Each structure stands twice: as C-alpha cells, then as structure tokens.
Structure 1
C-alpha cells in the first residue's frame, strides 16, 4: 500500500516506520558505500584506500599534526587511525615520531613521496564529480545538509551517553 506521496505505508508514520528504504541510516549507509565505490578506481591509481586518502587530505591541509588531532579531524578513534598510519608509513608516504616537547604525543607528517602524491590526487575530487554528474551547487547543498545532520546526530548521541 502507498500513501499520497507515493511511498509505502505500513500503517505507521515515516518517523516510526520499520521499512528499510524509509530508514535515514540506511540511505546514508547506501550513499556512503556508493561514493566510496566511485572513489575506488580513482584511488587505486594512487595506490590508496579511501581511509588512507582521508588521512593524507588532513596532512596536506594541516601539515605536521599529532595522531590525536588527526583522529579528531577524521572523527575516528586512535585504534583505527594507528593501523592506517602504519600502512602509510610502510608505503613511505608518512613519517611518525615522538614529539620532543611531549614524549606521549606522536607527530605525523607527509614524506616527500607523500607530498608528491598530492599533485596526482588533486584530480580526484573533480573526477568524482564528473563521474557522478553532480554540480558544484548540488555538492555544496548536500555537504551542508550532511554536516547539519552530523552535528544533530552527534548531539543526540552525546545526550544518550
């Protein structure tokens, strides 16, 4: 059965629906998987995974940073970031070293090879837009709406802790 808007009606308002296609979380999950899949061939050319690409984006933007700051920027925990950094270091793209001012803090920076990769990676965002057919204003609107959702969801999660 469908309602006036043409969506399936299980006798429950959309806010209480248990239909998979009406779940906001599932739409986000499906979109995230599709976008990551669209990035894959572009990043394969660079020898990077999507999470490694994100790490490098932060380092290219900020320069040398602590692992803690990097994890915060990526909204990941230390246990997730550490293996990523180990693989990037093994590939010769980043270096890690203890901070002289605080031995507990580990600094991360791109190597020369990591900086060289930046030039090749510069084409990735435009290539993704071309592949998806999204234009600048559409991307900006989506990005703003997703950041608003992330802010609201973070606040909701914080309230339940």
Structure 2
C-alpha cells in the first residue's frame, strides 16, 4: 500500500479529484466545467449575484472567476452588467438559456448521489456538515498556522 493511502489529506484530495472527474463526464454534453455548473446552481437558487458575491459563494478569486464568466456569457448562459447606481459593481444574471439548463441538468445531482454510494439524504447532510467543519478548521490553520504549531509543540512537550 502506498504511504499516501494512510493520509487523510490524500484521501480528501483523491475523493475531490474523482468527484470533479465524475462531474466532468456528466457535464461534458453541455460543454460545462464543474465551476461553471456551480455558478449556474448558485444563480438558479440564489438569483442574480454581484461578481464578488458569486466569487465569495464559490470560493473563487476574480482572476479565475472573470474568465469563467466571460466564457459563460459567450455561451449564452449569463449576462454581466454594471450597476447603474455603482459602476464598480457587476451583476451576473441568468439568460433564458441559462434558466432552461436547470431542467436539462436536473439529473446531475441524482447521478452524483447514486454514484457516491451515500445511502440517504440524512447521510449526505451529515457528510456535508463534517466537510464544512473541516473547511473551517483548515481555514483557521491557513490563517493562523502559529496557533496550531504552538498546540502541536505543547502536546509534544507534555
């Protein structure tokens, strides 16, 4: 067994990559990437978004988000318009085609749920909560590494 197979970080990495690859196969007939799909899901469920709000929701920086939105706009899925009252703010909205795609892609979450082997909605919610807690903890580590080092150093001295 490779050494990486015993690392939590590698198990998360492998699961994330494989999940993204599964989405790629499901989304390929629409020439959509996984992040583009997530943008559509956000707009379907939460309505029009500022570019910065969408970036926050998807955890994408503007250097990644802007070209992605430009491709989505060229494909006819979204529009981007500067707000009249504040030209610094760009609002992203679904086009009619973008709204139609919701029905066309309705099978995707079901395919992922069945393919994941998660037995029911409660199990899915439990996994989501655990992963969200892990995300918060890893952000804390990223933002405050010395605090974690101090805990580790203190535990190794005890």
TM-score bracket, normalised by the shorter chain, equals: 0.7 to 0.9
Aligned equivalent of 2:29? 45
Match status 1:25 vs 2:9: yes
Spell out, residue by residue over 1:98-157, the C-alpha distance to the aligned partner (whole angstroms, 9 max, x if none).
Answer: 011111111101100000001111111011122233222332221111001001111121
Match status 1:153 vs 2:138: yes
Can you give the 5+ residue segments of structure 2 that lack an aligned partner in the other structure?
Answer: 147-158
Aligned equivalent of 2:112? 128
Q: State the alpha-carbon separation in 1 of the partners of residues 69 and 56 from structure 2.
A: 14
TM-score, reference length from structure 1: 0.83
Spell out, residue by residue over 1:57-78, the C-alpha distance to the aligned partner (whole angstroms, 9 max, x if none).
Answer: 1111111110000000011111
Q: Give the number of the structure whose residues are more often helix, by fraction.
A: 2
Q: Is the 8 A contact 1:65 1:107 kept in 2?
A: yes
Q: State the alpha-carbon separation in 1 of the partners of residues 39 and 9 from structure 2.
A: 25
Q: After TM superposition, where is structure 1 displaced by more than 3 Å over at least 4 residues in a row?
A: none
TM-score, reference length from structure 2: 0.85
Can you give the 5+ residue segments of structure 1 that lack an aligned partner in the other structure?
Answer: 1-6, 9-18
Q: State the alpha-carbon separation in 2 of the partners of residues 114 and 51 from structure 1.
A: 15
Q: CA RMSD in A?
A: 1.8
Aligned equivalent of 1:111? 95
